[in-house]
Amino acid sequence: MTLQLMANSKTTMKTAKRTMLTFNRIRPWSPEWNRLGEATQEVLLGFLQEAPVKISRICNALSIKVVAAPLPARISGEIRYNPEDESFKIKVNRYESSNRQRFSAAHELAHYLLHRDLIIKEGSIVDNVLFRSNVSNMVEAQANRLAADLLMPIHLLREYINAHEANQNDDTFIVEMAQDFGVSEMALRFRLGI
Ligand SMILES: [Zn+2]
């Protein structure tokens, strides 16, 4: 390797290291995403091209109805199966914040993508504010991980971080990034591992 090349790669490493210092804990796609299968991933990726990701558009494409409904307090969302026409319907609690409703919709969509048989068997999955429900905590954790992937896909996070590299150390960076992704600051911090 020539000296010039070495100098270049050193500079690159330095830049990369600085970015990674702040964002070295972003996990890639979840195991739940990885097991969706290529055909489903391809359909989903078509909708994961810009932030904020439009969860309702994905649901429309999959013929799942999504409504913001006056659900009881402490219930964030539900997905219900109608055996008569074999359809699925998601309700999110309209009394909760819009970011929260987006997360709930993504969480219920994740149940549809991962746990369709279980929804059909149980008739519905009803999630409280902690995303605990009539099904196991393991199933809930799976839905949360896939929901985070859908709302904050790895490639969009990286793109955003690279595009805003200069502002990365500003106090407001995470707040603005959360706004741009339509998620809570807490959800974003969790996703970024910071
Ligand atoms: Zn759930």
Q: CA 100 to CA 194: how far, in whole Å? A: 20
pTM across the whole model: 0.86
Comparing C-alpha atoms, which of 44, 49, 94 is closest to residue 64?
44
Q: CA 188 to CA 185: how far, in whole Å? A: 5
Check whether 2 has a pLDDT greater than 70. Answer: no
pLDDT reported for residue 169: 75
Assign 194 to helix, strand or coil. coil
- Residue 113 Cα to ligand 1 midpoint, Å, equals 12
The domains of the chain are located at 24-192
- Residue 25 Cα to ligand 1 midpoint, Å, equals 25
CA distances to 64, 90, 122, 128 from 55, in Å: 11, 11, 24, 20
| Residue bearing the bigger pLDDT, 141 or 190 | 141
pLDDT-derived band at 23, boundaries 50, 70, 90: low
Which H or E run includes 82?
Answer: strand 75-82
pLDDT reported for residue 102: 97
CA distances to 111, 132, 179 from 138, in Å: 12, 10, 29
- Residue 126 Cα to ligand 1 midpoint, Å, equals 7
- Residue 14 Cα to ligand 1 midpoint, Å, equals 42
Q: CA 194 to CA 110: how far, in whole Å? A: 24
pLDDT-derived band at 24, boundaries 50, 70, 90: low
Using CB atoms within 10 Å of the CB of residue 70, give its burial: 0 to 12 exposed, 13 to 18 middle, 19+ buried: exposed
**Model pLDDT for residues 68-113, shown as the tens digit of each residue:** 999 999 999 999 999 999 999 999 999 999 999 999 999 999 999 9
Residue 167 carries which DSSP code? G
Check whether 148 has a pLDDT greater than 80. Answer: yes
pLDDT reported for residue 81: 98
- Sheet containing 65-69: which strands, arranged edge to edge? 65-69, 87-93, 75-82, 124-128
- Residue 72 Cα to ligand 1 midpoint, Å, equals 16
Check whether 59 has a pLDDT greater than 50. Answer: yes
